């Protein structure tokens, strides 16, 4: 700021150095003691590590940073912890794809340690990219506390949580899990993308040599045991699982099968006899009314089988190939190749009954594109019902507030129907499950406590060994422990983030001072996968909810589509701040997409950004994001909104350039809040500023960031720039008024920049630093006190605001006349007709009216005067509010011939738009162009009548 202010606003110039200066100044680190007593705000940044942040993340970050900067300026001790998440399945999937594309290696070609080294390398490259994006957004994070979920301290917290939960509903069990054969791992619900099919649809499946047709249902017959030739027709979309059938079930009330109750069916391939079960859960109207029971590949079938004492069979392996018991002709065959062979074999046996189109929902793995399988696995499951009811009550009671509010109904429904949480993932990248299987060191058989032996849990192998020895009542040295090969679901460690990053399980100073945290910002589609689990585990493990408010906006593109790499609409925030043209496609091609996804994404990106993205700047992006309501529906972001906010920054820049020029280098200010205005325009603008301060504070307290920004911008644009600056220009020429005007200009600028600082910190800091300030002044705008509505309340004067408000209506009417007549730079004389009681306040505002209308002399007509007689010819008037009218003198300023020519042009345009001036009908409310043309024509007709009246009749 030691150099002159550049003549025009440039985000590249303004945003180049302030962030590093703030960091060196210690702005982001909270003071050891809270200057405001117990006023403490703690926020924890939702972590990410898989690639880069998009505009959805940028919205959450920006909303939180606005609150952080606001509270810091209010004197609160603020801690905002940055962090990244190891994102187990996403990171390992990307690393494996990269290894295959770059080196031709698969996971099976590497040891666990080798793959982990590659994953750590990926994290170092891309984790830092995300932190750079956060810095570029201006997020005031305390980087000295930056956390990573795989750090030693955080890993200790994950282990501690698992150990504490063991015995409180965390158990190992044999259940059906959602499985990705391509990744060879169980999946979280959020990693499954349901695809609706209306009929036959051919799709490529990883590992399958040809496309597979889904959206069809196959009917075949199960022969009834005996020689009577009876059969039971069964319809299925999964004929390849036929080898895993253990029964066929029908509804006990279905008359079609009541004569077969108690009979057995012969398996067409193995010859095994299967019972015909009766179960009320079977829907007679669906398919044939008879369903195959395959408990090894369906959770519903597993419940039926267990209810009838039947053992499950698994016929699909972890890699998606067939593994029927005893091997056989399908051993090792891809499951969808086996589907065709099973149908062909049924046809050869005469048991195939046909194939029909079938609408269905196909579950796909979002990470690999593979079709999800349901496999029977021994996994670690956490019972969530008790924790869920407490989380539900927190929202019902108001202790936890969800924004937008409509999420509360969905929250209650989800908590009422929550199931057990499968924590196991068959990966190498992540927190290894701290559970150990017990064996005997001398080679003896392990104790038979469970189908897979005895499992013990411990914070270390030594602790687990001691626990096993106590259980088995044997010396620890006689046991051999083997740690579970699986890792924990990433959402489990992420759910601990709000307190683990503050030092939990130790009672650290940070944990005591900053937990629970304040507001949490996250994308709406992660409400249950992440936010709910943070609420449940946070309350269960610490006794406190981790946050009191959650902002859950969901950003979509301008066409209403969710941000998706495969659609090409995932935009790096830096592409908006710095601008991007060819870089967009270059970045797209650097992403690890398959050829089809890349083609679709390229087409979508070219359609959405045919000319690239203009440089908007960080402040403009932040304000564009903040301008959308986080309390309503999903946010549809348009880059045009950011460009409009850059124009706002330019407006503020030009305003301050004028103010600085008016103040000069030797101006001695008084504190901005201590100004005592006397003149009406100064009283009005400071009153508008006080009103804006109160509105911003009210809105931010209610978490209505969009409303707070609107109040700030309305003051800058509508009160300061559009009105007061214009009226101040002639005032500065009056030596008696210039000092008050200068101090008002400074107070509005300085306090206005403090209001703007949380939303547009870079341009606000740049301009604030250049203003003269009364000592003692803080070193940075970040520490300047946020304007206090109570302290500025004395500036509010409803009478003056009403008077200037009436004046602005006069200005609006006069400007309408100017525009309609096309007066250009001419300064016509102005006359105002007003009630007698308005003269007292309107006369002192004459210079303001003259400046705002760009008028010549201003006169007030006597009360009751006839304007036509008082003013004479060549004057044109318009109503300007109750009891007010304004008149412009047109003599010598306009040519009637030119007005007639312009009138004809406007009539032709009006006719082309389908409107007729003589119709007498109001235009459609949406057709503003027709309404504007009609208004201009009316002004022209009246002006022509005043300048060139028709001759009097003889």
Measure Cα distances from 16 to 13, 21, 39, 675, 937 in Å: 6, 10, 32, 34, 51
φ and ψ of 491, to 5 deg: -60, -25
pLDDT digits (tens, 9 = 90+) for 741-754: 999 999 999 999 99
What radius of gyration do the chain's Cα atoms show?
A: 37
The reported pLDDT for the residue numbered 472 is: 87
Give phi and psi for 878, each to the nearest 5: -155, 145
Q: Six-digit token pair at 114? A: 């080798």
User: According to the model, what pLDDT value does residue 449 have?
Assistant: 46
- How far, in Å, CA of 943 to CA of 287, rounded? 80
Residue 448's pLDDT band, with cuts at 50, 70 and 90, is very low
pLDDT exceeds cutoff 60 at 591: no
Distance CA 77, CA 92 (A): 39
Q: Tell me which of 10 and 583 has the higher pLDDT.
A: 10
Report pLDDT digits (tens) over 64-96.
999 999 999 999 999 999 888 888 888 888 888
Of 446, 458, 517, nearest to 483 by C-alpha is 458
Nearest to 502 by CA among 542, 549, 548: 542
pLDDT over 90 for what percent of the chain?
Answer: 61
Q: For residue 786, which of 756, 742, 765 has the smallest C-alpha distance?
A: 756
> Residue 941 pLDDT > 90, yes or no?
no
- Adjacency order of strands within the sheet including 373-382: 185-186, 170-180, 373-382, 421-422
Q: Which of 288-297, 601-610, 712-721, 830-839 has the lowest mean pLDDT?
A: 601-610
Looking at per-residue confidence, does 602 or 669 come out higher? 669
Kindly report the average pLDDT of the chain as a whole number: 88
- 815-829 residue pLDDT tens: 988 888 888 899 999
Report residue 711 as tokens.
């109040």
Instruction: State the pLDDT at residue 36.
Output: 52
pLDDT single digits (tens) 538-559? 999 999 999 988 877 767 766 6
- Pairing, β 858-861 against β 830-833: parallel
User: What is the C-alpha to C-alpha distance for residues 576 and 564, in angstroms, rounded to an integer?
Assistant: 17
- Between the two ends of the chain, the Cα-to-Cα distance in Å is 76
When pLDDT is averaged across residues 400-410 and rounded to a whole number, the result is 88
Q: What is the reported pLDDT for 951?
A: 56
Is the predicted pLDDT of residue 360 greater than 90, yes or no?
Answer: yes
The tokens for 355 are 């194939």
CA atoms of 45 and 530, how far apart (whole Å): 13
Mind listing the pLDDT tens digit for each residue in 573-582? 998 898 887 6
Distances (CA, A) of 699 to 466, 538, 781: 57, 29, 21
| Contact between 479 and 438 (Cβ < 8 Å) | yes
Contact (Cβ atoms closer than 8 angstroms) between residue 935 and residue 820 = yes
Would you place residue 919 in the very low, low, confident or very high pLDDT band (cuts 50, 70, 90)?
A: very low
pLDDT of residue 925: 43
| Chain position carrying tokens 């609160």 | 76
Residues in Cβ contact with 452 at an 8 Å cutoff, skipping those fewer than 6 apart: 172, 378, 437
Question: What confidence score (pLDDT) does residue 949 get?
Answer: 62
If phi > 0 it is left, if psi is from -120 to 50 it is alpha, else beta; for residue 867 that is alpha
Beta-bridge partner residues of 435: 457
Burial 580-589, CB ≥16 within 10 A → b, else e: beeebbebbe
pLDDT at 920 over 60: no
Q: What DSSP string describes 370-384?
A: PBPEEEEEEEEEE--
- Window from 328-332, 379-383, 802-806 with minimum mean pLDDT: 328-332
Predicted pLDDT at 326: 65
What is the model's pTM? Answer: 0.85
Give CA separation, 838 vs 684, 805, 807, 844, in Å.
Answer: 17, 13, 10, 11
Nearest to residue 491, comparing CAs of 421, 388, 387?
421
Strands 290-293 vs 247-250: parallel, antiparallel or unpaired: antiparallel
What is the per-residue pLDDT across 171-214, written as a single tens digit (0 to 9) for each? 989 999 999 999 899 988 778 889 999 999 999 999 999 999 99
Q: Which single residue is written with the structure tokens 């009403």? A: 802
CA 650 to CA 543: how far, in whole Å?
50
| Mean pLDDT within 29-42 | 71
561: nearest Cα among 627, 512, 520, 607: 607
| Count of other CB atoms within 10 angstroms of residue 109 | 12
The yes-or-no verdict on residue 567 having pLDDT over 80 is: no
Which of the given ranges, 100-104, 122-126, 263-267, 561-565, has the highest pLDDT on average? 263-267
Residue 673 has a pLDDT of: 94
Q: What is the mean pLDDT of residues 823-850?
A: 93
To which H or E segment does residue 668 belong? Answer: none
Per residue in 889-911, pLDDT (tens digit) is: 988 888 788 888 888 888 888 88
């Amino acid at each position: 700021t030691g150099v002159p202010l550049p003549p025009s606003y440039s985000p590249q110039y303004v945003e180049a150095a302030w962030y590093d200066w703030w960091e060196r100044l210690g702005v982001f680190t909270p003071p050891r003691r809270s200057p405001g007593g117990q006023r403490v705000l703690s926020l924890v940044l939702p972590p990410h590590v898989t690639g880069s942040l998009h505009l959805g993340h940028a919205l959450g970050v920006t909303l939180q940073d606005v609150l952080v900067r606001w509270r810091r300026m209010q004197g609160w001790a603020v801690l905002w912890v940055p962090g990244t998440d190891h994102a187990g399945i996403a990171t390992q999937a990307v690393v494996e794809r990269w290894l295959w594309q770059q080196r031709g290696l698969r996971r099976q070609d590497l040891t666990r340690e080798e793959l982990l080294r590659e994953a750590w390398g990926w994290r170092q490259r891309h984790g830092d990219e995300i932190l750079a994006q956060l810095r570029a957004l201006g997020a005031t994070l305390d980087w000295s506390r930056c956390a990573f979920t795989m750090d030693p301290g955080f890993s200790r917290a994950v282990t501690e949580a698992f150990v504490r939960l063991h015995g409180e509903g965390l158990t190992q069990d044999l259940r059906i899990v959602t499985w990705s054969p391509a990744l060879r791992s169980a999946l979280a619900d959020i990693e499954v993308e349901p695809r609706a099919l209306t009929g036959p649809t051919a799709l490529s499946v990883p590992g399958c040599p040809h496309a597979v047709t889904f959206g069809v249902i196959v009917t075949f017959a199960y022969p009834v045991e005996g020689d009577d030739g009876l059969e039971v027709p069964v319809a299925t979309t999964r004929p390849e699982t036929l080898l895993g059938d253990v029964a066929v079930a029908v509804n006990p009330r279905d008359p079609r099968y009541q004569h077969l109750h108690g009979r057995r069916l012969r398996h067409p391939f193995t010859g095994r006899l299967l019972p015909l079960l009766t179960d009320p859960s079977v829907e007679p109207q669906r398919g044939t009314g008879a369903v195959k029971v395959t408990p090894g590949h369906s959770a519903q079938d597993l419940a039926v089988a267990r209810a009838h004492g039947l053992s499950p069979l698994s016929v699909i392996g972890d890699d998606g190939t067939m593994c029927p018991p005893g091997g056989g002709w399908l051993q090792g065959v891809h499951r969808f190749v086996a589907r065709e062979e099973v149908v062909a074999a049924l046809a050869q046996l005469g048991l195939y009954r046909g194939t029909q189109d079938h609408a269905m929902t196909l579950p796909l793995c979002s990470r690999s594109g593979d079709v999800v399988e349901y496999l029977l696995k021994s996994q670690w499951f956490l019972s969530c019902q008790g924790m869920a009811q407490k989380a539900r009550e927190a929202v019902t009671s108001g202790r936890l507030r969800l924004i937008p509010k409509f999420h509360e109904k969905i929250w209650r429904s989800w908590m009422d129907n929550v199931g057990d949480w499968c924590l196991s993932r068959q990966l190498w990248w992540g927190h290894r499950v701290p559970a150990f299987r017990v064996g005997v060191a001398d080679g003896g058989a392990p104790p038979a406590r469970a189908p897979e032996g005895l499992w013990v849990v411990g914070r270390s192998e030594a602790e687990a060994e001691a626990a096993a020895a106590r259980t088995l009542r044997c010396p620890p040295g006689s046991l051999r422990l083997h740690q579970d090969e699986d890792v924990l679901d990433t959402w489990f460690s992420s759910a601990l983030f709000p307190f683990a990053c503050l030092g939990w399980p130790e009672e650290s100073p940070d944990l005591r001072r900053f937990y629970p945290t304040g507001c949490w910002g996250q994308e709406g589609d992660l409400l249950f996968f992440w936010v709910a689990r943070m609420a449940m585990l946070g309350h269960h493990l610490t006794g406190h909810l981790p946050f009191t408010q959650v902002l859950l906006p969901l950003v979509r593109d301008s066409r209403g589509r969710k941000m998706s790499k495969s659609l090409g609409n995932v935009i790096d925030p830096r592409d908006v701040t710095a601008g991007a043209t060819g870089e967009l496609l270059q970045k797209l091609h650097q992403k690890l997409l398959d050829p089809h996804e890349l083609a679709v994404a390229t087409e979508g990106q070219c359609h959405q950004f045919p000319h690239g993205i203009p440089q908007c700047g960080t402040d403009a992006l932040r304000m564009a994001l903040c301008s959308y309501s986080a309390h309503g529906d999903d946010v549809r972001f348009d880059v045009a909104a950011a460009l409009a906010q850059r124009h706002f920054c330019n407006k503020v820049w030009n305003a301050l350039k004028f103010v600085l020029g008016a103040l000069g280098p030797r101006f001695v200010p008084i504190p901005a809040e201590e100004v005592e205005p006397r003149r009406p325009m100064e009283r009005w603008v400071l009153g508008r500023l006080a009103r804006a301060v109160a509105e911003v504070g009210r809105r931010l307290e209610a978490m209505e960031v969009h409303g707070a920004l609107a109040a700030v911008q309305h003051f800058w644009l509508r009160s300061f720039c559009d009105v007061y600056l214009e009226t101040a220009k002639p005032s500065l020429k009056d030596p008696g008024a210039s000092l008050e005007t200068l101090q008002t200009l400074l107070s509005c600028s300085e306090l206005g920049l403090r209001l703007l600082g949380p939303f547009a910190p870079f341009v606000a800091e740049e301009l604030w630093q250049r203003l003269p300030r009364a000592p003692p002044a803080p070193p940075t705008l970040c520490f300047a006190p946020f304007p206090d509505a109570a302290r500025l309340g004395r500036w509010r004067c409803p009478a003056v605001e009403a008077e200037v408000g009436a004046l602005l209506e006069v200005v609006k009417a006069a400007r309408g006349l100017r525009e309609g007549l096309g007066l250009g730079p001419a300064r016509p004389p102005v006359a105002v007709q007003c009630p007698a009681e308005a003269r007292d306040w309107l006369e002192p505002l004459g210079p303001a009216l003259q400046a705002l209308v760009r008028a010549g002399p201003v006169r007030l007509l006597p009360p009751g005067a006839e304007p036509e007689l008082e003013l004479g010819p060549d004057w044109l008037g318009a109503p300007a509010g109750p009891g007010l009218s304004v008149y412009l003198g047109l003599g010598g300023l306009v040519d009637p011939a030119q007005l007639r020519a312009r009138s004809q042009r406007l009539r032709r345009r009006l006719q082309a738009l389908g409107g007729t001036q003589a119709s007498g009908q109001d235009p459609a409310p949406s057709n503003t162009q027709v309404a504007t043309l009609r208004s201009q024509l009316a002004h022209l007709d009246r002006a022509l009548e005043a300048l060139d009246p028709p001759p009097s009749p003889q």
